[in-house]
Amino acid sequence: MNQNTAAAGWVVQLTIPGVPKPPVEGAKWRPAETTAPTFQFFNVAVGAPDKAVEAARKKAGASDEAAMRVVRALSAAEIDSIKLRAGEAKPA
C-alpha cells in the first residue's frame, strides 16, 4: 500500500497479559513471575484507526482497559479477499 492510498481497514492487536506464576519451592534459579503475554488479532473493515480499535474491542468483548492497538493498514483488495463487509470485525 503506498502512502497516497487511504486505509480501507486495519489489523488490530489485543494484548492479553500474562498471569502470575506461583513460586517454586527449592528452585536453584528464580523463574519468571508471570507467564508471557499472548495476542489476539482482528481484521476490521473500518477506515479510522480509533474506530477500528473500538469495533475489535466490541467483537472481542474486551474491557476499556484492555491494551489494543492497530498493527497495520488493510487495503480494499485485502478486505475483499478476506470477505469483510464495511464496519465488520473478524478474528484474524
Q: Domain segments of the chain: what residues? A: 9-21+33-91
| 3-state secondary structure (DSSP) of residue 83 | coil
Across the chain, mean pLDDT equals 90
Q: Note every long-range contact of 76-84, with CB atoms under 8 Å and residues 24 or more positions apart, other chains counting.
A: 76/8, 78/8, 78/9, 79/8, 79/9, 79/43, 79/45, 82/43, 84/9, 84/43, 84/44, 84/45
Q: What is the pLDDT of residues 37-48, one digit of tens each?
A: 999 999 999 999
pLDDT more than 90, % of the chain: 72
Q: pLDDT at position 5, please?
A: 62
Grid cell listed for 85: 463487509
pLDDT band at 64 (very low <50, low <70, confident <90, very high): very high
Q: In what order do the strands lie in the sheet with 38-44?
A: 67-74, 9-16, 38-44, 89-91
pLDDT band at 65 (very low <50, low <70, confident <90, very high): very high
